[in-house]
């Protein structure tokens, strides 16, 4: 990326410093540069755009003195220096849990779970929405919108409510009921669409082209949205004592999160905030929607779209926008992309809950089950320091384990009844 050749922001509508240290947008496919604005496709080749920066000097002390949210990384994000003074959900700085019990069970030496279920709407999506909301505000866009597989719907509706702006959220009609209710409760307009996520996404792109001033967080302000995922990398490194782990396992839907975690780790090394030690990134998918894992195994560079059929609905994107970049990242770092069956996903949810007291949604089940699988296949080194991301909360996908867990017995309220049941 030739960020240094970009002139500083020349965006007519935004105030000075509206995007912090960001200086422009760069095409990930051909490198063509464009000014900051509500753009997401390259004017030359229609490739995806990415935010470029001129960072200058950033120190650990400066970051550590910041708020306990993603805004401590403001100098590394396309947001203004006074970002914390605007009403938003202040996501991030979620716990990094040393998972010794799970490590023992899997024969591992050194395992951590980055638990993003602790975000305001209980998934990592609060991070990306917070950055997209800032971009929308600075660009004078008045409506926050998205097509969503569920968690993004929660995050957009909540962030818009808190910011006091309108939201319009589009979801596939067959979404888990808890995710529908936990979006609708924030107000705003929730639209259920007869179709799968890829149909919803297509509709949203069409509307984005018609409705000026609507910020579809993952469509027309996607370059800014995507930068929010870098904060997972920053936090993980900072919480490890400013170190990069040797292996990271990340769930893949559109693939944006995985590719931006790689970008974030690279930035930390370049800025000298951590030692630029090598790391491997692994992608996790559910077999019922595993186009990237399939392409990885087949050695292909292109990702052939599939029709999703899995309980991991938050990852059910059949035509992932960042699929090719996930393949590149995992191959380049020496990682892999693997997939697991829905039954393995349920096992993964229960395994994490039983060993670490962390209740993950289906996406977390995918990640834990994939971790187990790639240890068995020899792709992941059980001796090396490993971080797995739990990106969402099990309370939103209760149906996944509803047939598997419950009370050991139902008894009368007497001591003899308890002993007769022979439970412990």
Ligand X SMILES: *Cc1c(COP(=O)(O)O)cnc(C)c1O
> Total residues contacting Zn ion (rule CB under 5 A)?
8
Q: Is 42 in the site for Zn ion (CB under 5 A)?
A: yes
Distances (CA, A) of 35 to 22, 53, 103: 10, 12, 47
* Cβ contact 204:147 at 8 Å: yes
Give the number of C-alpha atoms closer than 13 A to the C-alpha of residue 137, restricted to the C-beta side: 22
Should residue 185 be labelled a site residue for Zn ion when binding is judged by CB under 5 A? no
- Binding range to ligand X, per CB under 6 A, among 75-83, 123-131, 236-244, 373-381: 123-131
386-390 and 33-34 strand pairing: unpaired
Which of the stretches 14-22, 184-192, 239-247, 254-262 binds ligand X when contact is defined by CB under 6 A? Answer: 254-262
Full strand arrangement of the beta sheet holding 22-27: 33-34, 22-27, 49-53
Of 30-38, 298-306, 348-356, 362-370, the segment contacting Zn ion by CB under 5 A is 30-38
Among candidate residues 251, 279, 284, the one with its CA nearest the CA of residue 265 = 279
Residues 201/147, Cβ–Cβ less than 8 Å: yes
Please report where in the chains the tokens 């949810």 appear, as a residue: 349
Q: Least distance to ligand X from the beta carbon of 372, Å?
A: 18
- Residue pair 161/34 in contact (Cβ under 8 Å)? The answer is no
Query: In terms of CB distance, is 27 or 113 closer to Zn ion?
Result: 27
254 binds ligand X (CB under 6 A): yes
Q: Give 50 or 198: the residue with its C-beta nearer to Zn ion.
A: 50
Residue with Cβ nearer ligand X (226 or 244): 226
- Residue 45 binds which entry of Zn ion, ligand X, none, CB below 5-8 Å type-dependent: Zn ion
Binding mask 133-152 for ligand X (x = CB under 6 A): ------------------x-
154 interacts with ligand X by CB under 6 A = no
With a CB cutoff of 8 Å and minimum separation 6, the contacts of 321 are: 48, 222, 254, 255, 256
> According to CB under 5 A, which one of 1, 29, 97, 398 is a site residue for Zn ion?
29
* Residue 227, phi then psi, degrees to nearest 5: -60, -25
* Smallest distance, Zn ion to C-beta of residue 29, A: 5
**Given the rule CB under 6 A, which residues bind ligand X?**
123-125, 151, 251-257, 314-315, 361, 363, 391-392
**Given the rule CB under 5 A, which residues bind Zn ion?**
27, 29-30, 32, 42, 44-45, 47
């Amino acid at each position: 990326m030739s960020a240094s050749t970009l002139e500083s922001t020349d965006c007519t509508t935004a105030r000075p410093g509206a995007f912090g240290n960001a200086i422009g947008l760069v095409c990930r496919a051909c490198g063509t540069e464009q000014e900051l604005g509500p753009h997401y496709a390259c004017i030359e080749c229609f490739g995806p755009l990415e935010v470029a920066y001129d960072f200058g000097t950033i120190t650990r002390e400066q970051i550590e003195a910041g708020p306990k949210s993603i805004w401590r990384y403001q100098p590394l994000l396309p947001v203004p220096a006074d970002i914390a003074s605007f009403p938003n959900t202040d996501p991030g700085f979620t716990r990094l849990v040393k998972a010794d019990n799970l490590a023992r069970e899997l024969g591992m030496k050194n395992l951590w779970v980055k638990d993003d279920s602790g975000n305001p709407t209980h998934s990592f999506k609060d991070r990306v929405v917070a950055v997209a909301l800032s971009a929308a505000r600075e660009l004078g866009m008045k409506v926050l919108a998205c097509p969503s597989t569920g968690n993004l719907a929660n995050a957009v509706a909540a962030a818009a409510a808190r910011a006091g702006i309108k939201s319009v959220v589009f979801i596939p009609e067959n979404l888990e009921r808890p995710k529908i209710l936990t979006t609708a409760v924030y107000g705003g307009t929730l639209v259920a669409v007869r179709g799968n996520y890829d149909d919803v996404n297509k509709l949203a792109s069409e509307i984005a082209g018609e409705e000026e001033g609507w910020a579809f967080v993952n469509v027309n302000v996607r370059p800014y949205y995507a930068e929010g995922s870098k904060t997972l990398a920053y936090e993980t490194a900072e919480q490890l004592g400013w170190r990069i782990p040797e292996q990271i396992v990340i769930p893949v839907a559109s693939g944006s999160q995985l590719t931006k975690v790689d970008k974030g780790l690279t930035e930390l090394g370049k800025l000298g905030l951590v030692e630029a030690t090598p790391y491997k990134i692994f992608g996790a998918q559910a077999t019922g929607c595993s186009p990237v894992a399939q392409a990885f195994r087949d050695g292909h560079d292109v990702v052939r779209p599939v029709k999703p059929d899995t309980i991991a609905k938050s990852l059910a994107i059949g035509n992932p926008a960042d699929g090719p970049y996930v393949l590149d990242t995992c191959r380049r770092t020496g990682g892999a992309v693997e997939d697991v069956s829905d039954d393995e996903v349920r096992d993964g949810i229960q395994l994490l809950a039983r060993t670490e007291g962390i209740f993950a949604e289906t996406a977390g089940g995918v990640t834990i089950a994939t971790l187990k699988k790639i240890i068995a296949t020899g792709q992941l080194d059980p001796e090396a320091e490993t971080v797995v991301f739990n990106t969402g909360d099990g309370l939103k996908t209760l149906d996944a384990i509803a047939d598997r867990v419950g009370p050991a017995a139902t008894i009368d309220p007497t001591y003899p009844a308890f002993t007769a049941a022979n439970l412990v």
